[in-house]
Chains A and B, each alone.
Chain A
Amino acid sequence: MHSSGISIWFFIGVLLTIYGAMIFGYGIFELVTGHTANVILANLHAPVWWGGLLLALGLFYGVRFRPGRNG
């Protein structure tokens, strides 16, 4: 799966990186401005840590399975 063409894990890495960046970015915006969404447990700032987790996973898979690198 890795020797020919792009691995599926690379596509997953790309998507998770973008999603992670968007959600993490929104979370930081919430933290900085204090304008939290009208949801339960907003004080836990889930977008920051969940978005951060998605971003980290995405970067890991994106780099680890990037095209041209043997997985």
Chain B
Amino acid sequence: MNHLGAPASPALLLLGAPSLAHLSALDLAVIALYFVMVIWIGFYLKSRANTSEEFFMAGREMTAWIAGLSFVSANLGALELMGWAGSAYQYGILAAHWYWVGAIPAMLFLGMVMMPFYYVCKTHSVPGYLKLRYGQGASVVAAFSFAFMTVLMSGVNMFAMAKVMQIVLGWDLNFSIIVSSLAVAVYVALGGLRSAIFNEVLQFVLIWGGALLVPILGLVEAGGWTGFKAKLAHNIATGATAQGDYTHLWKSMGHFADNPMGIHWTGIVFGLGFAISFGYWTTDFLVVQRVLAANSLRSARMAPVIGSFFKMAVPFIVILPGLLGLVVLQNSDGSLMHLVGENVATANPGAGLHSYNDVLPLMMVRYLAPGLLGLGITALIAGFMSGMAGNVSAFSAVWTYDIYQPLINKKAKDEHYVAVGRWATILGVVISIGTAYMVMNAAGIMDYVQALFSFFISPLLGVVLMGMFWKRATTAGGFWGLLIGTLTSIVLFLWVHFYPWALRYVALSPDAKAMAEDMYRALWSVSTSILVCFVVSLFGKARPLAELNGLVYGVTKLPAEEPVPFYKNEWFWLVIAVIAFFSLNIYFW
């Protein structure tokens, strides 16, 4: 039986802290079985990860479907699931911008425009592309920043996930951190990228199998989408729910002050939709690595297109439960439940308050019977592990190819690099665990680490775009563009951090709120890196065109692709994806 606020099961031999959910033996069996399966996959695939091409690139044998699902899954962390469900409860459907305009255009651009260059030049990583295009300097800067930011982020996510397990299930922090990270370390170190990808596809299926039932039952209870809107309107009219437009994506974007996020549509379109989203989806090696493992150029182009359909669908298991929570969640006395900010819930431990981030677990506990609840919790754990596996497998590849090989040991045997990759995986997990404990002892570090990660992504986008689409871009242009773009981001962050009034200048409005800052900071950063790369390149000598074959648009001969029926053609599915994208935005306008 599941009860709100019931204590954790003593059978778990874990903390006896009050928790949201009470797992039955059936739920625990479902979770345990999942761990058995991922470890089994790791051991099974060990024999197929003997060469560096197999270990780091999964033998470049992945079909478009597998690469595409893994591409989306590596990005689907548990915290993202819970965090955006909480944001939907707090801000309404605006949170879906991060899944639609904040992802789909960039994913399609990666597949159709950028992927041929990444794929044809046979690079092993994004810093590897920079090395081919701009030389060692820019590559080393990108490799170091990516490698260490990736494992630090992994640690932050690990801590946050353990915290979630403590709140939802009453599990001990150490238990969650050690068990989940050991499982990831075992299956990635054994089977390399292939194992990470296999598990990500498995995790993707589990996320849907475990989470999709919640919005289905929620819609049944609310009386469908129409019934939900009617109940919400009634709650707002009676003052039970705070005023706001919870069901429209764009209507309230005309001015910073018109929506609770404090964002203007220019920030969403250019900041989120371009600077942040393109930076993440097209240059973050964590996701690009999955597509590089595809078995052909067509599969590599098709994978992000396939991924885009699933990305568009994710709001139905994340945003919709958050929205439904606004009308269906009730206290034990039958009154409407009001979720609060994390700081309010923490400051009033005895008041029985739940934070926005608890909305997804609360919805699970509300509807899911034994077995199904275990599957829902497994979905959250799977989400976390797929994100972490993505981090450590990308770290391992960048460490080995872009740091160890060029700077430490240039001419070792292939087996040596595979061994380095396996040890780098374990090292990545160890650093992640260390970061998790560091964050546990000083929670403020979390904000800095997350900000640190954002410093490097947008300038990298500027430099990669210039390198890929402008023949004239030079080695010095790439290096200085990356460096000054990054410094711009850091300076703007520190400016707003120490002088909050500076936000009105960074985000161009006195009504801007914190969320707008990230978008405009990313926009300034990418603009600076493009501008610096452009100006510096004008004063330098461009590389001969013959050296740019496979790297730059206009000088690259793409391999001819075999004709296929229209339903297997990537351009056909691109058009369908674009239509679906615009339809969703117009329907929820």
Q: Give the interface of A toward B (CB within 8 A).
A: 1, 5-6, 8, 11-12, 14-16, 18-19, 22-23, 26-27, 30, 36-42, 44, 46-47, 50-51, 54
CB <8 Å contact, B62 and A1 = yes
User: How far is B382's CA from A17's CA once the two chains are assembled, in angstroms?
Assistant: 18
What residue in chain A is nearest B212 (Cβ atoms)? A50
CB <8 Å contact, B2 and A39 = yes
A-B contact count (CB 8 A): 91
Determine which of A8, A14, A36, A46 lies in contact with B372 in the assembled complex, contact meaning CB atoms within 8 Å: A46
User: How far is B48's CA from A6's CA once the two chains are assembled, in angstroms?
Assistant: 11
CB <8 Å contact, B371 and A15 = no
CB <8 Å contact, A46 and B370 = no
CB <8 Å contact, A19 and B66 = no
CB <8 Å contact, B202 and A8 = yes
- Contact A46:B41 (CB < 8 A) given known A39-B2, A51-B371, A54-B209: no
CB <8 Å contact, B217 and A11 = no
Task: Give min CB distance, A46 to chain B, whole Å.
Answer: 6
CB <8 Å contact, A26 and B202 = no
Q: What are 15 A-B contacts defined by CB distance under 8 Å? A: A1-B295, A5-B45, A11-B40, A12-B201, A15-B202, A15-B206, A16-B205, A19-B30, A23-B30, A23-B371, A30-B369, A36-B369, A37-B370, A40-B217, A51-B372
User: How far is B61's CA from A19's CA once the two chains are assembled, in angstroms?
Assistant: 29
- B220 interface residue per 8 A CB criterion: yes
- Contact A11:B37 (CB < 8 A) given known A26-B26, A46-B367: yes
Q: Give the interface of B toward A (CB within 8 A).
A: 1-3, 26, 29-30, 33-34, 37, 40-41, 44-45, 48, 61-63, 66, 197-198, 201-202, 205-206, 209, 213, 217, 220-221, 295, 328, 365-372, 375
Residues in A with CB closer than 8 Å to B3 are 38
CB <8 Å contact, A41 and B198 = no
Residues in B with CB closer than 8 Å to A26 are 26, 369-371
Q: Is the interface of A mostly helix, strand, loop or mixed?
A: helix
User: How far is B62's CA from A19's CA once the two chains are assembled, in angstroms?
Assistant: 26
Determine which of B37, B197, B328, B371 lies in contact with A47 in the assembled complex, contact meaning CB atoms within 8 Å: B371
Residues in A with CB closer than 8 Å to B366 are 39-40
Determine which of B1, B26, B41, B66 lies in contact with A38 in the assembled complex, contact meaning CB atoms within 8 Å: B1
User: How far is B66's CA from A5's CA once the two chains are assembled, in angstroms?
Assistant: 15
Determine which of A18, A39, A54 lies in contact with B369 in the assembled complex, contact meaning CB atoms within 8 Å: A39
Task: Give min CB distance, B258 to chain A, whole Å.
Answer: 35
User: How far is B41's CA from A54's CA once the two chains are assembled, in angstroms?
Assistant: 20
User: How far is B3's CA from A38's CA once the two chains are assembled, in angstroms?
Assistant: 7
CB <8 Å contact, A22 and B26 = yes
User: How far is B32's CA from A15's CA once the two chains are assembled, in angstroms?
Assistant: 12
Residues in B with CB closer than 8 Å to A5 are 44-45, 48
CB <8 Å contact, A11 and B213 = no
CB <8 Å contact, A8 and B66 = yes
Task: Give min CB distance, B175 to chain A, whole Å.
Answer: 23
Residues in B with CB closer than 8 Å to A27 are 369
CB <8 Å contact, B220 and A44 = yes
CB <8 Å contact, B205 and A12 = yes
